[in-house]
Amino acid sequence: MATLLLDDGTIKSDLGEIVHELTPLGIHLKHYDPGTSLLFPNLLAQEVLTDAEKHQIVELHNGIFEFLQQENGYLWCDLWNLHPGSPHLQTLIATYSRYHTHTAPEPLYVLAGEMIFGFVKPDGSQVQLLVQSQDYMQIPDGVEHWCSPTALLHFKAVRYFTTVEGWVPHYTETQLSDSLHKPH
């Protein structure tokens, strides 16, 4: 389940409270537990996956979550598989760990592991959201954010696309708030 760290150091773990905090940003967050992890537990724990294994995971996932694609007009999806041996890991972290926006929505469903997303709220405050297995999140286009893996360096998620260009980051000058480094 997701956890939210507010700018004042408050931590929220109730999904309803988190959704309320993210509402001004238009971020859609849900927790779905359809049992898909039972279909391929060995693949979710495995770091390196072949293309065939990635395809198998995405196909099984789509069979259950077809409604997400239909409701939101997603044209295709892929599997984002991040682990300590990922090629270009440091480049990926550097690319997405700075505040940026996208020209299309950024939706994903977490299959395994965890990732941290930081957001700038309309009042200028910043929050950090930890998403974990079975969390579905859709960040609207234009929302200023960053993301980074946790120290576990383990993250598998299905990413949805409406355009190829939509996932290209457009960097902003916003810096990470110092207060977010001091949880209460």
Cα dist from 2 to 13, 88, 113, 130, whole Å: 6, 27, 12, 5
Beta 28-31 vs 106-120: how paired, if at all?
A: unpaired
pLDDT per residue as tens digits for the range 21-68: 999 999 999 998 766 666 677 888 888 888 898 888 888 777 777 777
Q: What does the block give as tokens for 126?
A: 């910043």
Name the amino acid, one letter, at 86: S
Asked whether 112 and 133 are in contact (CB, 8 A), the reply is yes
pLDDT per residue as tens digits for the range 105-132: 999 999 999 999 999 999 999 999 999 9
Angle at 13 (CA atoms; ends 18, 125), nearest 5 degrees: 50
Residue ranges and CATH numbers for the domains of the chain are 3-162 (2.60.120.10)
Asked whether 6 and 127 are in contact (CB, 8 A), the reply is yes
